[in-house]
Structure 1
């Protein structure tokens, strides 16, 4: 009994010491306002849950974690200023973003400040492709990975169809459209036309004009390379035009937040991809993933989205690298992360050494009918997983990455 009491006193003393130590600051650069704000809220929630769990375990290197955050509003210039503010607050690493333009710009500034930047929602190929560097790590999949699993599913279920593309005119939109055209063999723009809409700042008139042209085309498949509120607004116009009844609508990157904003009735039948849904841990038999779903649901009274899972995973992966390297130094952390393989919220994942892309399974999903969604206790059972592709098959190869870098006159070694 005395030994148990002594052990308890020592444990309490060690944890009290950890909590009394100088906190380690992690910096979240996320959209609290703007088109992607719902994805931003999910990132904040996932990050806070991870930090609270780690602090309950004694923190990292004997020190508690704290979160500092800044609103990027999905604007690159604001996100860059946030990097400086967070660095000046003492942040030892940065993460976040629901826009690839934001992640790329903020990541470049983080490199100048000697800080790692982990991209949460940044699907552009450029993030770890032509614009990749040593200080950038992308947790989610890239556009190629989405396009490959989507192409596999669409070629199988909708072969030889005509496509029409409506695309947000920035790095995520253009690289996503290009990738999907290749995997669905829809490169011929005379047969498979498309229009670009401004980003940010598209107006309803921009979406109306683009969708009027889609309605007057010979398309069988309407690809909306849009995200967040832009996708929601476009879907509202598509419904008024009856396009969701006439055409198969594809939105390459779906999130739980998008379905919540639009409503499952409007989004029913839309096909896209997700790197993670709350159903994935049970599918992949991930004990830690199922615990995350349970803890998040109890805390926030709703299921975690891929946005929340990404932020949660990044905090845990950074903490794991810090513990394995016994350091907070960026160079030591880079070495600890490169080539590191792990399982956390689903199956095996790896931080690939040559481009810092997280290689993981990607899922093709289809939004369930509203009636099915409403049967769920939280009314958030949105996605049917209709196909999957292992990360090694989906991710660009080293040769493909080299070709992309050479085409952009960039080094084939991250710098």
Structure 2
């Protein structure tokens, strides 16, 4: 009997390989300021597809990944969606900025394809700009602000803040949410500097850091991503700000610490939706297998970008299996209010806004000496606080207030 089962599984696998593949499209930054995150996205997606095809594929057909470079530009991301549609992709996912996800998501909607946003943290993605064909796996700015606000109110109460903010949808929504969560809305007391969202020059970073140094702030919040963040953190360290201010980076990532170096990032506090340590914390066997597979393939630990891409592909494929369909409307019905456990504790695709509701973690970058003792020298984060998704995510009332007249997804 075991031999028969093995042969049947083998024949099913061969039949799936011979069937026409189901194509899905990854919009990812192969170049530009977020290219390191793009590498993670693609690696996570490929691991998911390998696992799905090994387990018997989807509707008897293997998955195939199509990938196009978005360079984190909205217009390029939109054009890529058109190319994916022409190539027969059944869904699109990815993105490294909120503007990119919003633009690409709207284009996918017009073409009848689902779009899953990654690394797109602005509240608008699933808030004011949300629609039925867009789902976001990554957390929102609001969710990051809630876990950070609670941690800071407990451990650094009544401090003076200074904000350096990327002048885009994510930066503005993150600033607003964190000011509210920390009680630092008074801009006269808690100062700020804005960095242009495009074509920022070195002098923009220098002026921003000098203004922070001249302030009386105890906490420096650097609301930047990618290379913008790297420039600013290095300048802050060179001026010695880390020794007299607690530096906060609301959305930390493995790739940022990797590029800047643990000495530069040591002691920085931020948030992550996932780190390679989370599966052990949450007793997730699937998450631990994912970490092991990623390490085996790449000789390094996976970051949250890889986990997000992996989770999206697995969840989309699961919805296809459960609905027995590739039709977008059928998949929306299968995803909405679907609860699952994959790489951590329980998660849910919330129906009213299509936000993935999941636990969020406040993390702190470890001392360099501790990091260097790790075999891969990438054990960057200590998890210092945890908040459930239900606590962190905006309520229906909060969401409807942001939406205005559009009180349901269209």
CA displacement, residues 38-79 of structure 1 (integer Å, 9 cap, x when unaligned): 111000000000001111112111000110011111111111
CA displacement, residues 259-289 of structure 1 (integer Å, 9 cap, x when unaligned): 0000000000000000000000000011111
Pairwise CA distance, 1:16: 1.1
SS at match of 1:377: coil
C-alpha separation in 2, matches of 1:220 and 1:157: 13
Match of 1:126 in 2: 124
C-alpha separation in 2, matches of 1:185 and 1:38: 34
C-alpha separation in 1, matches of 2:341 and 2:364: 25
C-alpha separation in 2, matches of 1:9 and 1:381: 42
C-alpha separation in 2, matches of 1:75 and 1:21: 35
Query: What are structure 1's unaligned runs of at least 5 residues?
Result: none
Following superposition of structure 1 onto structure 2, how do residues 242-257 of structure 1 map, counting pairs within 5 Å? 242-257=240-255
The reply on whether 1:367 has 2:365 as its aligned counterpart is yes
Query: What are structure 2's unaligned runs of at least 5 residues?
Result: none
Match of 1:376 in 2: 374
Match of 1:20 in 2: 18
C-alpha separation in 2, matches of 1:217 and 1:20: 65
Deviation larger for 75-84 or 11-20: 11-20
Pairwise CA distance, 1:14: 1.9
CA-atom RMSD in angstroms: 0.9
Deviation larger for 301-310 or 194-203: 194-203
Match of 2:409 in 1: 414
Pairwise CA distance, 1:240: 1.4
Match of 1:295 in 2: 293
1:142 to 118, 121, 140: 140
Match of 1:44 in 2: 42
SS at match of 1:15: helix
C-alpha separation in 1, matches of 2:334 and 2:391: 24
2:151 to 150, 153, 157: 153
The reply on whether 1:395 has 2:390 as its aligned counterpart is no
Match of 1:219 in 2: 217
C-alpha separation in 2, matches of 1:38 and 1:402: 35
Change (3 A) 1:8 1:383: closer
1:199 to 191, 197, 200: 197
C-alpha separation in 2, matches of 1:5 and 1:240: 65
C-alpha separation in 2, matches of 1:86 and 1:405: 30
Following superposition of structure 1 onto structure 2, how do residues 13-412 of structure 1 map, counting pairs within 5 Å? 13-406=11-404, 409=405, 411-412=406-407
C-alpha separation in 2, matches of 1:7 and 1:165: 61
C-alpha separation in 2, matches of 1:46 and 1:200: 28
Change (3 A) 1:177 1:20: same
Pairwise CA distance, 1:106: 0.5
Relative to the length of structure 2, the TM-score reads 0.99
Aligned residues: 410
Pairwise CA distance, 1:7: 4.0
C-alpha separation in 2, matches of 1:271 and 1:371: 18
SS at match of 1:101: helix
C-alpha separation in 2, matches of 1:166 and 1:138: 26
C-alpha separation in 1, matches of 2:12 and 2:147: 48
Relative to the length of structure 1, the TM-score reads 0.98
SS at match of 2:206: helix
C-alpha separation in 2, matches of 1:250 and 1:136: 30
C-alpha separation in 2, matches of 1:131 and 1:189: 27
